[in-house]
Amino acid sequence: MMSLHSALLSSSRSVNTLRFMSRTMAMAATTGKHGVADVLILGWAQSDLRHVAKYQNVYHGRLLADASETAPIMKWTTSAFASQTLQFAKPERWSFRDIEPIYQVLRDQGHLRPAETASDQTPSAPRAPLVLHLLSNGGVNSLVILLHLARERNMQLTDVAAIVLDSAPTPVHAMGIWPWSGLFVDAILPASMPTAFRNTAQTLLYAQMRAKSVIMTGLLGRPARADTNFATLVNHPDIRAAPRLLLYSRVDDMVPLADIELALAKMREAGHAAVVESVDFVDSAHVSHLRAYPEKYTKEVGQFLARVGLAEMAVQAANEPVVLKSQL
């Protein structure tokens, strides 16, 4: 068996409401063909970067080789970001500044190109494929804001080879307002706040959110953020054809089984992505599938990426010299 030498090169800093970590590269000592690919990991709302960064460990050198005998040893460049619950509450344009570090990473990697040339010109050399790994609806929300920021600047996201969705998405505004109000209260109040005060604050916030929902959605007919985010995930031209894997659990109390089943049905009905797969982890909690079943989680991701042809794209990209730039 080939020996595997893995090096983790990482650093972190705080950037507004997102904290940024870049970069890790899993390398293998081998004389055979190898592949290169980029991974963007977007964390759940109110996530801690230390926890989001653990998902970088999924993308190790032998990930695809272990899934397929013909797959290469891989060199992965991963970037992980944590997001905040308040991004759901404020106007999307106000979050552009928060998303700027993600935008810069993708631009430097060559995955953001001017919209007028991205689809008309064939690159002189194959670029590394990009895998989007989205954690919960917070990760989906960050991606949607990123896509809208790119459109604002007349740029297009390219090279998206696959999308991995963990504990997401919510296809309609089915998630109750009460759980959302709890997330917002946790984001605003310190952890040391007495329980009675926290419960009172959540009750008041719930009433305000409920009234806003009735006015905005019921009376004015404006779709909820969850609805527009899902529509973007399914129909946006930059990502709609990308194969996708949904990782979920039937006991998830934040994104229940019914939401996942509806999301799968709507994605397949849209017909943009030829591959829409799912894995049920049965009894793990929301965004806890990797922690509960690390080997199964890694295996499922690796096999999915091998099935959708990531290895072939990665080997083509490796035929040219690859410069890995630190984003710090």
Q: Identify whether the C-beta of residue 88 lies closer than 8 Å to the C-beta of residue 177.
A: no
Mean of pLDDT values over 191-210: 74
Residue 181: the pLDDT is 60
Amino acid at 174: A
Angle between helices 294-307 and 310-318 (to 10 degrees): 70
Q: Cα separation of 146 and 112, whole Å?
A: 11
Q: What per-residue confidence (pLDDT) applies to 200? A: 82
Contact 208, 220 (CB under 8 A): no
Prior bond of 179 cis (ω within 30°) = no
In tens, the pLDDT along 208-253 reads 665 665 555 555 556 667 788 999 999 999 999 999 999 999 999 8
CB distance 318 to 33 below 8 Å: yes
Q: Is 307 helix (H, G, I), strand (E, B) or coil?
A: helix
User: Of 99-108, 204-213, 275-284, 298-307, which gets the smallest average pLDDT?
Assistant: 204-213
Residues 6+ apart with CB under 8 A from 115: 151, 154, 155, 156
Average pLDDT for the chain: 79
At residue 184, does pLDDT exceed 90?
no
> For 5-14, what is each residue's pLDDT tens digit?
333 233 333 2
pLDDT tens per residue across span 22-74: 333 332 222 245 679 999 999 998 889 999 999 999 999 899 989 988 888 89
298 pLDDT more than 80: yes
Confidence bin at 21 (pLDDT 50/70/90): very low
Position 217 scores a pLDDT of 57
Instruction: For residue 200, give the amino acid letter.
Output: T
Token digits of residue 274: 């030829």
Question: Residue 239 has what pLDDT?
Answer: 98
Place of tokens 């049965």: 282
User: Given this model, what pLDDT does residue 28 score?
Assistant: 27
**Global pTM value:** 0.78
Q: What is the pLDDT of residues 141-170, one digit of tens each?
A: 999 999 999 999 999 999 999 999 999 998
Q: Are 38 and 111 in contact (CB under 8 A)?
A: yes
Rg (CA), the chain: 20
The residue with tokens 């109390």 is 253
| Range of weakest confidence among 72-81, 118-127, 278-287 | 118-127
Coil, helix or strand at residue 243:
coil
Rounded CA separation 49/46 (Å): 10
* Pairwise CA distance, residues 238 & 212, whole Å: 32
